[in-house]
Structure 1
């Protein structure tokens, strides 16, 4: 009986090995993502990269425009200061007393009898 029991156990082991081999052969590889999902993922990643690049380039253009605007605004402020200084000089130089003093230096005299009035039509 020992031979018979041994043969039965060997047959059972062979059957188990064959079933294991069959299972290994039948085993289908399962991928985490299908090829379609991979393509969609790559397209999505590309769109995200393109969008990020587009946003960064837009921000840099906006920064440059603001920088130029600030430079122009600074130049305008400087020119306004110059204009105000010149306006003050004009008001000082066009005062009646100064004009009268310059006229006396040049030899002009004020003669009220020699004044003619011009009327507008």
Structure 2
């Protein structure tokens, strides 16, 4: 029995050793399908990067326009506040009374009506 087991082991080892080795096929270059896929992928990358750059440029231009508009709004708000202060100064009672005297108007207290807010 022991001899038979040894023979089986030796045969199994010889079979595993004698297994034919796979030959590696060395291909030269890429197949036409792989070349087309590479070109299509490259085209998508180029188109995508161009699209991204174009979008970023548009966003930059819009942001620039927004900033200019905000700057104009701030300038107008400052002008409005300055004019409001000027209106308040010019509408003071003493100044109006002086202007009326310069123009020859006189205050008739019987014609004055008091209006309250």
| TM-score, shorter chain, exceeding 0.5 | yes
Q: State the match for 1:42 in structure 2.
A: 39
* Aligned mates of 1:53, 1:68 — CA distance in 2: 23
Which of 79, 91, 96 aligns to 2:93? It is: 96
For normalisation by structure 1, the TM-score amounts to 0.67
Residue 70 (structure 1) shift: 0.8
Q: Check if 1:66 corresponds to 2:63.
A: yes
SS at match of 2:106: coil
For normalisation by structure 2, the TM-score amounts to 0.69
Deviations 1:61-93 (A, max 9, x none): 110111111111111111111111111101100
Larger Cα-atom Rg: 1
Structure 2 residues without counterparts, runs of 5 or longer: 1-24
Q: How many residues align?
A: 91
Q: State the match for 2:49 in structure 1.
A: 52
Higher helix content, 1 or 2: 1
CA RMSD of aligned residues (A): 2.1
Task: List structure 1 runs of 4+ shifted beyond 4 angstroms.
Answer: none
Deviations 1:23-77 (A, max 9, x none): xxxxx87234221111111101100110000000110011011111111111111
Q: Check if 1:105 corresponds to 2:102.
A: yes
SS at match of 2:62: helix
* Aligned mates of 1:93, 1:60 — CA distance in 2: 50
Q: State the match for 1:10 in structure 2.
A: none
